[in-house]
Amino acid sequence: MPFSALGLSPDFIKILSNQNFTLPTPIQQAAIPAILNKKDVLGIAKTGSGKTASYVLPILMNLQHTQVLKNRHVNVLVLVPTRELAEQVKDVFKIFSPALPVPVKTLAVYGGVSINPQMTALQNVNVLVATPGRLLELLDSNAVHLCSIETLVLDEADKMLNLGFKGEVDKIISLLPEKRQNILLSATLNEDLQLIHQVLLHDPLVIKIESREDSLEQINQVAYIVSEVKKGPFLRYLISHHEMKQVLIFASSVHTADAIVNKLRKNNFDAKAIHSKKSQGARNEALYLFKSGKLRILVATDLMGRGIDIDQLPFVINYELPRSPKDYIHRIGRTGRADSIGEAISLVSPDELHHIEVIQKKMGKEVKLIDSENMNN
């Protein structure tokens, strides 16, 4: 089914073609017509399935028919858990906004940067993409008003609720008009999400795109058994031995991420870290350099990894295993996209052997285990 069959205007079809969007993904096929018809939608689909475009396109189409609001009264509110995702969503809105006959202004607001420029930039905004905490600060300052919201989107709702945003989200929702369109998007459907779905959505279209059993088939997985003290040298050996030009390394803590980068840089490897303790400017720069191929190695924590979306990222390395098997799948899912083959490598200490067995069982897929003792590390 082509995009032209979903009810989008020719101007949108042209931009989609220019952006190399050929055919809609399953979530886009189901969600775009429903959102165009102002239905509430609950979309469950894995990361990288095209969820953002599935709501951006119809929301922009619908904005053509909306009334002009007072200044600082926005039409559309998109709530997201991280600054990186806020910028990512804003960029998608900006890509497709030129297809509209009337200009649409989109703004992303989040903490970690000065609030004053954001307050000034809220003049005449139509679409506001926000993290909950910063939005509440702006509301307290009367810098924005939510009483005219026509569409509410909760993007990455599962992660938002897991991160403890529920109280803030509830407060924001209480300030919205009762009559509005609600769109809830998530990678998983857990008990918390089911509860907010029941409270928030009215007769929604529920779209659940099942992850195919072979969805990890494009990812070659291997785990090396290596002691904690040898992980650093072995990591450097792997990067050199495989001649990795672009590799994303996951660490489980801010401290470990910084330590990995320091060791890599001391050994003349071009590396930067991205985590919650970095300034927004530093995070933006590291992401830009890595995505554009100007940075060889990016070391990220799990939360920051959600903002890294590269079609043909060749390598992902787990310096240490995440606690959750779902986080493991999310990590390695950064590679093996867009019909390209990816390599996912895990460094597993003897103490983590039981955990890698749990991950394999939950994933339903075997990971090849190799003893690194006799390798040149």
Report all structural domains of the chain as residue ranges with CATH numbers, in order of start.
3-208 (3.40.50.300), 219-371 (3.40.50.300)
Helix ranges (DSSP H) in 104-163: 115-121, 132-140, 157-162
Which residue do the tokens 């995009």 mark?
A: 3
Higher pLDDT: 147 or 215? It is: 147
Could you tell me whether strands 219-225 and 181-186 are parallel, antiparallel, or unpaired per DSSP bridges?
A: unpaired
pLDDT at residue 245 in the model = 93
Nearest CA to 291 among 261, 311, 270? 311
pTM for this prediction: 0.68
Q: Is the pLDDT of residue 41 over 90?
A: yes
Could you tell me whether strands 219-225 and 368-371 are parallel, antiparallel, or unpaired per DSSP bridges?
A: parallel
Q: Who's near 4: CB < 8 A, 6+ residues apart? A: 10, 13
Reduced to 3 states (helix: H, G, I; strand: E, B; else coil), residue 181 is strand
Q: Is the pLDDT of residue 164 over 80?
A: no
pLDDT in tens, 92-103: 999 999 888 888
Average pLDDT for 16-40: 90
Nearest CA to 60 among 109, 93, 108, 107? 93
Could you tell me whether strands 76-79 and 106-109 are parallel, antiparallel, or unpaired per DSSP bridges?
A: unpaired
pLDDT at residue 68 in the model = 61
pLDDT at residue 307 in the model = 57
| Element at 372 (helix H, strand E) | none
